[in-house]
Structure 1
Amino acid sequence: MNVDMPQPDLSSHGLSRREFLKGAAVAGGVLLAGGFGYRQLHNHLGRDFRPQRTRDYLESILPAEKPGNLPNFIIILLDDLGYGDLVSPAIAAPNFKRMASEGTRLSSFYASAAVCSPSRAGMLTGRYPVRTLITLPLHSTYDAMNVLLDVLGMYSYNVRGIPGDEALLPEVLQRRGYRTGLVGKWHLGGTPGHLPNDRGFDSFFGALWSNDDPPYALYRDRQVVVPAPANQDVLTHDFTQAALEFILASQDHPFFLYLAHAMPHTPIHASPEFRGRSQAGLYGDAVEELDWSLGLILDSLDQLDLSRNTLVLLSSDNGPWWQGSPGFARGRKLQWFEGSYRVPFIARWPGVIPAGMTSSVMSMNFDLFPTLLNLAGAPLPQDRIIDGKDLLPVLKGEAASLHDALFFYNTRTLVGVRQEQWKYYRRYITDNSAFWPLRQGPFLFDLGIDPNESYSLVESQPERASALAARLEAFDAEIKSNLRGWL
């Protein structure tokens, strides 16, 4: 039997249906506006921006009295190159091996994040990326991923570019009288105030974003010179040529060149001359072309008689993604195990750094900031925590340790800590994609005998695990109480 249920008579209460809907719409609008307002206030307070501090610090740095005595610096950063790629039998890398034989290789060198933008932020500021508020890869306005991350509130306090109150390596070196140039990938912001020429680089040739982020155009300083879609087959060639031109034009001045290659990040490209050369597919072809590029850079320094006054540093922004070798290590890009953080590192400076040396002292890419500042005679900022330490004694074989502990994040979540050969992970989501909803751990690994993190010693070494867990929790609490690290 059908029974007609009585409908509420809005008019009997002096409220028409239209008035009811209008009132509901207004109430919804008020709630929406309130939520938006709360989010804006939350972001504003959480950012804790203090740009005047950095302006004061940079203004305090004076040009060098004798700039001719300053050493040159070149950082060559490869994109998603794995720890094991340079020693793979499937990839010919004579120039990488040449650089290692002429300098020092660090076998326990880590990126400061397991993904691109945060890792670059850490390297250029000398600080854990979480302090810089860059904890995710940045995306262009036109990328669907940017919209998704925005809607989900994933950006740390909605920061879309390296904050203006972070003092960047090129800004400091520029104040000391260095000619500063960026060739290749920036990936720290694409709006005015966050562009390379705004943040310490005298010259820029390259891309603002990753090569998988449309529209992928190439810029010379602030102007597009290769409209999207740029031909990525020739990126390594063109970036190498631009780097050589910068070195040639700057040879009579102290210079800082940051050569940030786009390869072998997905989508992988190589020039026609290198396609099919390696035994590791297109990925290997791209790496072999990067090896060719390195050879030209080193040859140029030798030919211009600059090698003995130029510190060349080579590394990767994080571990390999879909392709590439993490070597013996567990994990890949965007994870938190060794394979995602441990990256190749070679330093070459004839006459200063010993040739053919390997050091297992653990270090991180944010150590480059204080290292280069000290060599340039620039003081470190005293108003903020600088997590990096001067790496030169390690590179010269004069130091047996550098950091008491290093910490590892998954975006904004602190996951692990390493102290000496011991690596501890708190209970966290699994790295096994077949069981992605599950959590695993806590884990304790002895990297000295178990470098691929296969056997947890939590049960057999409970006191050590507890001590490292306490160390991790204490650092987590410190960060949460003073996120930006202001002093």
Structure 2
Amino acid sequence: MIRIITIAIVFFFCLACKNQAELETIKQPPNVILIFTDDQGYRDVGVFGADDIPTPNLDKLASEGIKLSSFYSAQAVCSASRAGILTGCYPNRIGIHNAFMPNSHIGLNPKEITLAEMLKEKGFATGIFGKWHLGDAKEFLPTRHGFDEFYGIPYSNDMWPLHPQQGPVFDFGPLPLYQNETVIDTITDQTFLTTEITARSIDFIKRNKDHPFFLYVPHPQPHVPLFVSEKHKGKSQRGLYGDVIMEIDWSVGEILKTLKEHNLEENTIVIFTSDNGPWLAYGNHAGSALPFREGKGTAWEGGQREPFIIKYPRELKADRLINEPLMAIDILPTIAEATDATLPNNIIDGKSAWSLLRGIEKKGPQEAYFFYYRINELHGVRYGKWKMYFPHNYRTMEGQIPGKDGQPGNYNYIDLEEVALYDLSKDLSETKNLAEDYPEVVLEINLLANEMRYRLGDSLMEIDGEETRLAGSIE
């Protein structure tokens, strides 16, 4: 009898401990992993249309999570797009445009609140392994913007002496490799980088598995110059570019495997996307955005529509497709709601899409999205199924010979001379201008654009913004 009572006590004690552990896990906010590639085209993932690059891990991530078919980067260029996803702001609001060069005198203003700083306030461990590109002066490094750890490069991987235009156009110094705020090496061969970034990401997860963490993995690849380790070399049907994507897919798989091994899978939000579209001038070393028009450096769909996958088993139903437009500026407020973090006091442009992702709402959080480029030019607006462009100058490879094997081709520069309106529900390639057929839509979008111009400006129309902020300066 005593033995039976003892067994019962032990059983109920274990059950109570299990329930308490489950309650503690539920109370703990989800970990967040943001995997951010560089210059990857929309069609460079199997579930987004690639039939010549195997991406089994990303395809599995999509089947276990949500795929967004109309997700946009914040801008079609490196530094600006990174500023947008990390701060929830249109990049021109915070004075960031184009891509910072080495030894830049400006960077992400220390007064801006990043995703890392927001989550760090809530007790998250924070780490970045990969490419930063928001200022390489010490006061702009990731460790000054909320990250506990940084391993990687401070700007794009082509900003080194081996650039194909070194001499005639550029005069780059050595490419530094950072550990936190210290240069630990200069890189002459990048074949090891994706593997090392993956290893350090895995180590970060293991070291922080017992409390919330934010892991940011901004891969330097597939930005040119392309590099891949021996284990993936020659594996794809799309040459070196495809091999690089396969290695990134492998990296995603290793991170997901680590989460599963440490029982972190259920309570971790994993996001995969890219900073902007493919760099078409590089030909066979560039990705594909087909069927979308143009690529990196333009506001056309191919320049900013990106592959996007999000998985969070605890709250997001699996194997879903969402066609509603979202933009990178919405990531910070969405993560804030998912983790119960406090939003920055600074004005931000993003809005939470958490209810959309959970299936509570069917509409996206924003009425429209605005496509700025260069310093402060409003080129286009996405409004429901419509995309409208204002007259502007843009680059294209149309009529030109693309580059090959790491050498760039030359762009044509074209003036769009009239307002252009496209119905993206029927015309993904933006071929038929419907502006004359739908003047009422043109008027609606113009009203929205004018509201934004008075907030953020538009140098094409010589309108000064009222609420913009400046990038940081070391002067």
- The alpha-carbon deviation at position 451 of structure 1 amounts to 1.2
1:320 and 1:75 map into 2 onto residues whose CA distance is 20
- The alpha-carbon deviation at position 71 of structure 1 amounts to 1.2
CA RMSD of aligned residues (A): 1.8
1:311 and 1:230 map into 2 onto residues whose CA distance is 35
- Matching residue of 1:380: 343
- The alpha-carbon deviation at position 430 of structure 1 amounts to 4.4
Could you say which structure has the higher helix fraction? 1
Aligned mate of 1:329, from 283, 292, 296:
292
Aligned mate of 2:36, from 74, 77, 100:
77
- The alpha-carbon deviation at position 484 of structure 1 amounts to 2.0
Contact 2:95–2:469 (Cα < 8 Å) also in 1: no
Partner of 2:231: helix, strand, or coil?
A: coil
Aligned mate of 1:368, from 308, 311, 331:
331
Instruction: Give 5+ residue unaligned stretches, structure 2.
Output: 1-23, 161-173, 281-285, 400-411, 457-463, 471-475
- Matching residue of 1:265: 223
- Matching residue of 1:426: 390
- Matching residue of 2:321: 358
2:26 and 2:377 map into 1 onto residues whose CA distance is 43
Partner of 2:273: helix, strand, or coil?
A: strand
Aligned mate of 1:461, from 411, 418, 438:
438
- The alpha-carbon deviation at position 192 of structure 1 amounts to 2.1
Distance 1:209 1:408, change over 3 A: same
Partner of 1:369: helix, strand, or coil?
A: helix
Distance 1:66 1:309, change over 3 A: closer
Summarize deviations over 1:388-447 as a string: whole Å, max 9, x none: 111222222222112100000112211111110011101111444556253433100000
Computing the radius of gyration from Cα coordinates, the structure with the larger value is: 1
Aligned pair 1:471/2:448, yes or no? Answer: yes
Contact 2:79–2:100 (Cα < 8 Å) also in 1: yes
Contact 2:395–2:414 (Cα < 8 Å) also in 1: no
Worse-matched range after superposition: 259-268 or 320-329: 320-329
Aligned pair 1:243/2:201, yes or no? Answer: yes
- Matching residue of 1:349: 312
- The alpha-carbon deviation at position 373 of structure 1 amounts to 1.8
- Matching residue of 1:112: 74
Instruction: Give 5+ residue unaligned stretches, structure 1.
Output: 1-64, 147-158
- The alpha-carbon deviation at position 385 of structure 1 amounts to 2.4
Contact 2:128–2:151 (Cα < 8 Å) also in 1: yes
Contact 1:237–1:293 (Cα < 8 Å) also in 2: yes
Contact 1:385–1:485 (Cα < 8 Å) also in 2: no
1:103 and 1:481 map into 2 onto residues whose CA distance is 39
- Matching residue of 1:172: 118
User: Aligned partner of 2:360: which letter?
Assistant: E
2:126 and 2:84 map into 1 onto residues whose CA distance is 19
Contact 2:294–2:396 (Cα < 8 Å) also in 1: no
Could you say which structure has the higher strand fraction? 2
Contact 1:103–1:348 (Cα < 8 Å) also in 2: yes
1:68 and 1:395 map into 2 onto residues whose CA distance is 21
Contact 1:218–1:230 (Cα < 8 Å) also in 2: no
Summarize deviations over 1:324-361 as a string: whole Å, max 9, x none: 11031111000110010100110011131111000001
- Matching residue of 1:207: 153
- Matching residue of 1:29: none
- The alpha-carbon deviation at position 67 of structure 1 amounts to 11
Contact 2:157–2:223 (Cα < 8 Å) also in 1: yes
Contact 2:118–2:343 (Cα < 8 Å) also in 1: no
- The alpha-carbon deviation at position 247 of structure 1 amounts to 0.3
Contact 2:177–2:187 (Cα < 8 Å) also in 1: no
- The alpha-carbon deviation at position 471 of structure 1 amounts to 2.0
Contact 2:81–2:91 (Cα < 8 Å) also in 1: yes
User: Aligned partner of 2:289: which letter?
Assistant: P
Contact 2:278–2:287 (Cα < 8 Å) also in 1: yes
User: Aligned partner of 2:29: which letter?
Assistant: L
- Matching residue of 1:136: 98
Aligned mate of 1:394, from 356, 365, 375:
356
- Matching residue of 1:55: none
- Matching residue of 1:274: 232
- The alpha-carbon deviation at position 230 of structure 1 amounts to 4.1
- Matching residue of 1:413: 377
Contact 1:67–1:254 (Cα < 8 Å) also in 2: no
Contact 1:244–1:297 (Cα < 8 Å) also in 2: yes
Contact 2:118–2:344 (Cα < 8 Å) also in 1: no
Query: How high is the TM-score relative to the length of structure 2?
Result: 0.82
What is the aligned residue count? 404
1:175 and 1:67 map into 2 onto residues whose CA distance is 20
User: Aligned partner of 1:79: which letter?
Assistant: D
- Matching residue of 1:308: 266
1:463 and 1:368 map into 2 onto residues whose CA distance is 32
Contact 2:386–2:424 (Cα < 8 Å) also in 1: yes
- Matching residue of 1:26: none
Q: Percent identity?
A: 38
Contact 2:337–2:354 (Cα < 8 Å) also in 1: no
User: Aligned partner of 1:280: which letter?
Assistant: R
Summarize deviations over 1:192-240 as a string: whole Å, max 9, x none: 2101111110111111111011221211111122x22242111111100
- Matching residue of 2:367: 404
- Matching residue of 2:176: 217
- The alpha-carbon deviation at position 481 of structure 1 amounts to 3.2
Contact 1:95–1:292 (Cα < 8 Å) also in 2: yes
Aligned pair 1:451/2:451, yes or no? Answer: no
Partner of 2:388: helix, strand, or coil?
A: strand
Contact 1:74–1:310 (Cα < 8 Å) also in 2: yes
2:382 and 2:42 map into 1 onto residues whose CA distance is 18
Worse-matched range after superposition: 97-106 or 79-88: 79-88
